[in-house]
Structure formats: C-alpha cells, structure tokens
Amino acid sequence: MNAEMLDELKKLAARAYAPYSHFPVAVLIRDRNGELARGVNVENASYGLTSCAERNAVFSFVASGFEKPAELFLYTETDSFTAPCGACRQVLMEFDPELSVTMINQSGEAKRVLISELVPLPFGPKDLDDVR
Ligand code: THU
C-alpha cells in the first residue's frame, strides 16, 4: 500500500455518512487503465436502507463508464482487516472472479485476496443462460 493511496483512502473515509454505526468505510475501484471510482458507506435513519461503500463504489464505477473493475481497495479505521459483506461480495463477483480485493487497516497494512476466494460456489451471469 503506497502512502498516496492510503492518504486518499483516509480522506475518503472522512466523507462516509455513518452517524449510527460510527464505522466509516472507504473503497476505491481501479480499472486496468488506472481510472478510479470512489465509494463510502451511506447510512440512513431507517437503518436497513444503509448502502455499503463497496456497492456505492461499483455503481459509481459503472456510471463513470470505466472498463471492467480490476482492483478494489477497502479501508476501515480498524486494526483488523474488514472483508466485504455477503451482499457486496455478490455484486463485486458480477464483473470478474479475478477481481483483486485489498483490505487495508488504519496502519496501512494490507491483505489481498481474489473476490472468487470470498465467494465459493457463486451464482452469476452464466447461471441465467440455462433458461435462454
Ligand atoms: N459496511 C460497509 O460499507 N462495507 C463493509 O464491507 C462492511 C459494512 C458499512 C455498513 C454500515 O454503514 C457500517 O459499515 C456498519 O455495518
């Protein structure tokens, strides 16, 4: 994790809207050309409507017209590494099972996995072909 990227993630986490959990999450998604999309978690007084940083970043990435997501960086202000929730894993898996997911803690330590490692036995676009 380079210092510039960590700085960007920390600044992004400060923009999270997390008044209920006090658990800010920042996500950067990069395509193969180096284009970056950003996401933070956005909570709601109706708690169940909270939207995670990962999905917000994916939606921004797609709306920006970037190429397929290649790398995702997930930062939380914790000592441990935070992995994407189950719903976000499903959404991230949509584009590429080889998507690189790097979890970063507040010290800048990083742990990298592939999204396919987080989603064994996935349901995906190919499963829909069976009915066509
Ligand atoms: N959250 C994320 O944004 N991403 C994760 O990977 C885990 C959880 C958010 C949702 C909620 O705003 C807060 O973290 C606590 O669950």
Domain with residue 26: its CATH number is 3.40.140.10
Residue 54 designated active-site: yes
Tallying the residues shown for the chain, one arrives at 132
Q: What is the pLDDT of residue 132?
A: 59
Q: What is the pLDDT of residue 60?
A: 98
Q: Which of 4, 8, 54, 109 is catalytic?
A: 54
Averages of pLDDT over each 10 residues, the chain, 132 residues = 92 98 98 96 98 98 96 98 98 97 97 98 94 68
Q: Is the CB of 21 under 6 A from ligand 1?
A: yes
Q: What is the pLDDT of residue 37?
A: 98
Rounded CA-CA distance 108/86 in Å is 24
Helix runs in the chain, H state only: 3-13, 53-63, 86-93, 115-118
The Cβ of residue 22 has, within 10 Å, a number of other Cβ atoms equal to 9
Give the domain range for residue 20: 3-131
pTM of the model: 0.96
Q: Is the CB of 27 under 6 A from ligand 1?
A: no
Rounded CA-CA distance 26/37 in Å is 11
Domain count within the chain: 1
